[in-house]
Amino acid sequence: MTSKAKLVTLSLASLAAILIFLLVDVGSNWSYVLPRRGWKIASIVLTGGCIAFSTVIFQTITNNRILTPNIIGMDSMYMLSQTAVVYLFGSASKLLVDNNLNFAMTLGLMLLFTGLLYKVMFKKEGKHLYYLLLVGLILGTLLGSLTTFMQVLIDPNEYLVLQGRMFASYNKIQEKLIVICTIVVLLIAVYYSRFAKYMDVLSLGREHAINLGINYQFVVKRMLLVIAALISVATALVGPITFLGLLVANVAYQLMKTHRHALLIPASILISVLALVGGQLIVERVFTFNTTLSVIINLVGGVYFLYLLLKENKA
């Protein structure tokens, strides 16, 4: 089967999953149910696309298929912001209760964190990308420790409220936020299109990209900003889904068997949508909301991550 045929098959499978999600058990309440499910599907497509898109780009510039953008501490920054609000102002604070305000605060803090990290790391030319990853990993651990410290000190009843923010959820999405995020993501995609032609060459590695005439530092800095913006939007909108990007990107590599990003990125987005819609169906229809989507995704993704590590070790 050709790569284009595989993309068509993935598109049809994703469309079928979306239709099943929209139409199952609609009954006579379709005028009420369909709009609510439609917004939920829109948020799934948006966040799934952001995570898959950013992970493929991140793995290309790092030339490593077992890394994800979350390694630089994005999830830790998200959890720290939510925990700090409860610790300082209580669970009834408008910063936590008002989803619009909470989204703006979280998105701003995550972008500020990554912006400062990149500015410090790339202040001098010659800093290697892996130095950024190492510092990001250390900062992520530090932020995680601060989060745990505050969680231990807060009231147990308020911790229960905070617990709802620890896992990704598509049941508290605001329609206005989806529209705003869609516009932001489209603008990011337009900006990325200026650098799309370099991606296939960057996948060859730093030395080969430089030898072929690419301004490596310039392109990598711009791609890191794109990645930070996409992950910030997805995480601030629904919460952290740690292993989704790793899972869908590597499945896309295995399925498409090509280095061309014009095929890999759409394939990874479609696989991400398929995984999220299927996972949400399982959460709602099989587990009847007794678990969350991120738990299922992280379980499958974690097992797959271990498989990749063992596979690389044998190689």
Burial degree of 79 (CB within 10 A; 0-12, 13-18, 19+):
buried
Q: What's the rounded Cα separation, in Å, for the pair 198 and 32?
A: 46
pLDDT tens for each residue of the chain, 315 residues long? 788 889 999 999 999 999 988 888 777 777 777 888 888 899 899 999 999 999 999 999 888 888 888 877 888 888 888 899 888 888 888 888 887 888 888 888 888 888 887 777 666 555 567 777 788 888 888 988 999 999 888 888 888 888 877 777 777 777 788 888 899 899 999 999 999 999 999 888 888 888 988 888 888 888 888 988 898 888 888 888 878 888 899 999 988 888 889 999 999 999 999 999 988 888 888 887 777 787 888 788 878 878 877 776 665
Chain CA centroid to CA 16, Å: 23
| pTM for the full predicted model | 0.87
Q: What's the rounded Cα separation, in Å, for the pair 230 and 278?
A: 22
DSSP for the chain, please give it.
--HHHHHHHHHHHHHHHHHHHHHTT-TT-HHHHHHHHHHHHHHHHHHHHHHHHHHHHHHHHHT-TT--GGGGSHHHHHHHHHHHHHHHH-TT-HHHH-HHHHHHHHHHHHHHHHHHHHHHHTSSTT--HHHHHHHHHHHHHHHHHHHHHHHHHS-HHHHHHHHTTSS--SSS--HHHHHHHHHHHHHHHHHHHTTGGGHHHHTT-HHHHHHTT--HHHHHHHHHHHHHHHHHHHHHHH---TTHHHHHHHHHHHHH----HHHHHHHHHHHHHHHHHHHHHIIIIISTTSS-HHHHHHHHHHHHHHHHHHHHHH-
Q: What's the rounded Cα separation, in Å, for the pair 168 and 283?
A: 12
Q: What's the rounded Cα separation, in Å, for the pair 107 and 62?
A: 24
> pLDDT value at position 267?
94
> pLDDT value at position 63?
84
Residue 56: which region, alpha, beta or left (left: phi > 0; alpha: psi -120 to 50)? alpha
Integer-rounded Cα Rg, in Å, for the chain is 20
Question: Which amino acid is residue 297, in one-letter code?
Answer: I
Compute the C-alpha angle 104/244/15, nearest 5°.
Answer: 95
